[in-house]
Amino acid sequence: MPDQIKIVEVGPRDGLQNEKQFVPSEIKLLFIDKLISAGLKNIEATSFVSPKWVPQLADNDLILSALLVNETYQDISFPVLVPNVKGLELAITHSAQQVAIFTAASETFNQKNINCSIDESFSRFKEMLPLIQKHNLKVRGYVSCALGCPYEGKINPRAVLEVTEKLFKLGCEEVSIGDTIGVGTPKQAYDLFDLLKEHVPVDKLAMHFHDTYGQAIANIYAVLELGIKTIDSSTAGLGGCPYAKGASGNVATEEVIYLLNGMGLQTGVDLDKLIEAGLYITDYLGISPRSKVTLAKKGAL
Mean pLDDT of the chain: 93
Q: pTM of the prediction? A: 0.94
Residue 112 has pLDDT above 90, yes or no: no
241 is catalytic: yes
- Flag whether pLDDT at 237 surpasses 80: yes
Q: Return the pLDDT at 114.
A: 77
Instruction: Specify the pLDDT at position 86.
Output: 95
CA distances (Å), origin 202, targets 10, 166, 205, 230, 232: 21, 16, 6, 10, 15
- DSSP readout, 125-181? HHHHHHHHHHTT-EEEEEEE-SS-BTTTBS--HHHHHHHHHHHHHHT-SEEEEEETT
pLDDT digits 0-9 by tens, 166-219:
999 999 999 999 999 999 999 999 999 999 999 999 999 999 999 999 999 999
Q: What is the mean pLDDT of residues 65-72?
A: 96
Q: Which domains does the chain have, with CATH numbers?
A: 6-297 (3.20.20.70)
Confidence of residue 132 (pLDDT cuts 50, 70, 90): very high
| Cα-based torsion angle of the residue sequence 158, 180, 222, 193 in order, rounded to the nearest 10 degrees | 20
CA distance to 105, 110, 244, per residue, from 151 (Å): 12, 10, 8
Residue 85 burial (10 A CB sphere; 0-12, 13-18, 19+):
middle
Query: pLDDT-based confidence at 248, cuts 50/70/90?
Result: low
pLDDT at 151 over 60: yes
The mean pLDDT value for 109-121 works out to 85
Half-sphere exposure of 57 (CA within 13 A, CB side): 23
Q: Is the pLDDT of residue 135 over 90?
A: yes
Annotated catalytic residue, options 145, 149, 172, 241: 241
For residues 70 and 273, give the distance between their C-alpha atoms in angstroms, rounded to a whole number. 21
List phi, psi (to 5°) of 210: -95, 160
Distance (Å, whole) CA 272 – CA 128: 41
> In this predicted structure, what is the pLDDT of residue 207?
98
Quote the pLDDT of residue 115: 79
